[in-house]
Amino acid sequence: MYKHPIIDIIKNYKSGKHDGIFSVCCSNKFVIEAAMDKIKNTDMYLLVEATANQVDQFGGYTGMKPLEYKKFIYDLCEKNDFPKDKLILGGDHLGPLTWKETDEKQAMENAKELIRQYVMAGFTKIHIDTSMPIKGDIEKGDFGDGIIAERAGILCKVAEDAYKDLLKEDTDAVHPVYIIGSEVPIPGGAEAEEEVEEGMQVTKVEHLKKTVETFKESFKKHGVENAFEYVVGIVVQPGVEYGSDSVWEYDREAASELSKAIKEYDNLVFEAHSTDYQTRYALRQMVEDGYIILKVGPALTFAFREGAFLLNCIEEELLKYDSNIELSKFKEILDFTMIKNPAQWSKHYSGTGYKVKLERKYSLSDRCRYYMPDEDVEFALNKMLDNLSNAEIPLTVLSQYMHNQYKKVREGDLKLNAYDLLKDIIGEYIEDYIYAIRKK
C-alpha cells in the first residue's frame, strides 16, 4: 500500500518546512488543463476535487457519476501529457447536503451511496461533510456537534468498507485520507452578504478541540477508530469569505489563537474553504499559519469567464463585419440562458434590476459556472474558439484586451491562439496559489 502524498506534505509542514497543497474544486476542463500546465514541470501534486452537487450517483449538474468524472480527468491527463502519479482525486462536501430537503433516513442513504461510489472510483481525499442541517433537524432543536459527528461516523464506516472492497480489485489502492469539521462554509460562497457577516466569526479554540474529540468518539462508536489516523484536516472558519462583490481578507492576528492550537496535533492541519480571491500574500500567510490545504473553485471559473469574455470582445472586433462568419454571441447566449433558467443564481443576486444584470455576468460568486455545461452555451463557446482559431489575431488587438498575454506572446512564452490565451488567463489566478505553497 502506498502512502498518501498529503500525509508527507503534512509531515513536512509539521517538521518546520514550508509546504502545502491547493485544491482545484472544479469540473471545467479549461481550468483543470490550466492547472496541469502550471504544475506539470514542478514537484507539486495536482489535487482536483469534485463537489457533491457537481458529481454524484445520479450525475449531479455535470451529468457525471464519480467513475465518469475520474475518466474525464484521466482523459485530460492523456491529452495534456500530465503524469497520473502526480494527480490526487478528491470528493468535496460528501454527505447529505444536496438532499437537505429529503427526510433524514433517505438523505443519509443517498449520502452513503455517494461516498461509497467516490471511494470505489479511486478518489483518495474524502471530505465528510455532515455540517449542515437536513429536513427536521431545526424543528427538533438539537442539531449540533453530536449529530454532525454521529452522521460522519456512519459515513466513515461506509468509506472504510468501500476501501476494503476496492482492495480486492486493486491491491495497490491508496487508503483515502479524510477531512472533517462542523464549521464548514457554504459551498460556492454565501448566498447573501448577511450570511457572510453572520458566519465570519473565527472558530474558537475550544470548539476546534471539542470537534476533534467528538468525531474521534463517533468513529470509535462505529468501529472505525483506526480510520482516525487518516483524518488529516479539519475545516474551520479562519475569517475568510467572499460575497457577490466583496472579499473578507484573512486577518492572521484574528486567527492567531486558532493557528497556535493546531500545533498541538501532530498529524492534523486546517483545510481552508472559500479562499477564492484572497491575495497571494494572504494565501501564503494562511499556509504559514496551518491552513496548508487551500481550496479554490469559483475564482478559477471566474477567471475562465473573464478570459472567455475577453476573447468574445476580440472575436467581435475582428469578425463582426465579415459576412461569411457567424459570430458566437457567447456573452449574450450565456446571459439569456441564465435568465431563462434562474434557479442557480436567483437566491444569490438581489437588489435593483441593473445590479442583478451586472451580477449575473461579473459576480465573484460566479454562478455562470453552472451554465457552462448547457448545450447552447457550450456550442457558443466552441463556436467562438473555432472562429478565433481560423482568424489571425493582430498583436495590437491582443494588447488592447489581454495585455499580459500580449507581453508573453512577444517574449515567446505563449502561443498566439485562443485556447492557450484562455488557459493563461486562468493560470494567472493559479499562480497565486503556487506562490502560497511553494518552498522558499
Distance in angstroms (rounded) separating the CA atoms of residues 128 and 153: 9
Distance in angstroms (rounded) separating the CA atoms of residues 93 and 186: 9
Tell me how many degrees the CA angle 134-237-207 measures, rounded to the nearest 5. 80
DSSP tag of 363: -
pLDDT recorded at residue 439: 78
**pTM of the full structure:** 0.94
With contact defined as beta carbons under 8 Å apart, do 47 and 125 qualify? yes
pLDDT recorded at residue 189: 53
With contact defined as beta carbons under 8 Å apart, do 21 and 437 qualify? yes
Distance in angstroms (rounded) separating the CA atoms of residues 230 and 4: 9
pLDDT recorded at residue 265: 97
pLDDT recorded at residue 162: 98
- Averaged over successive runs of 10 residues, the pLDDT of the chain (440 residues) comes to 88 96 96 97 96 95 96 98 97 95 94 98 98 89 91 98 97 96 67 56 94 97 97 96 94 97 96 97 98 97 98 97 96 98 94 95 96 96 97 97 98 98 98 92
pLDDT recorded at residue 141: 83
Assign residue 175 a region (left: φ > 0; alpha: ψ between -120 and 50; beta: otherwise): beta
| Domains within the chain, CATH numbers bracketed | 5-296 (3.20.20.70), 302-425 (1.10.400.20)
Residue with cell 474558537: 204
Distance in angstroms (rounded) separating the CA atoms of residues 188 and 344: 11
pLDDT recorded at residue 198: 56
Element (H, E) at 46: strand 46-51
Best CA proximity match to 337, nearest among 319, 306, 360, 316: 360
Axis crossing angle, helix 298-319 with helix 29-39, rounded to the nearest 10: 100
What lies within 8 Å, CB to CB, of 102 at 6+ separation is: 96, 110, 134, 135
C-alpha cell at 182: 462542523
Pairing of strands 293-296, 21-25: parallel
C-alpha cell at 15: 517538521
With contact defined as beta carbons under 8 Å apart, do 291 and 363 qualify? no
pLDDT recorded at residue 336: 98
C-alpha cell at 380: 457558443
pLDDT recorded at residue 196: 56
Residue with cell 486562468: 426
Distance in angstroms (rounded) separating the CA atoms of residues 315 and 310: 9
Distance in angstroms (rounded) separating the CA atoms of residues 437 and 283: 8
36 C-beta neighbours (distance < 10 Å), count: 23
Distance in angstroms (rounded) separating the CA atoms of residues 143 and 159: 23
Report the SS3 class of residue 386: helix
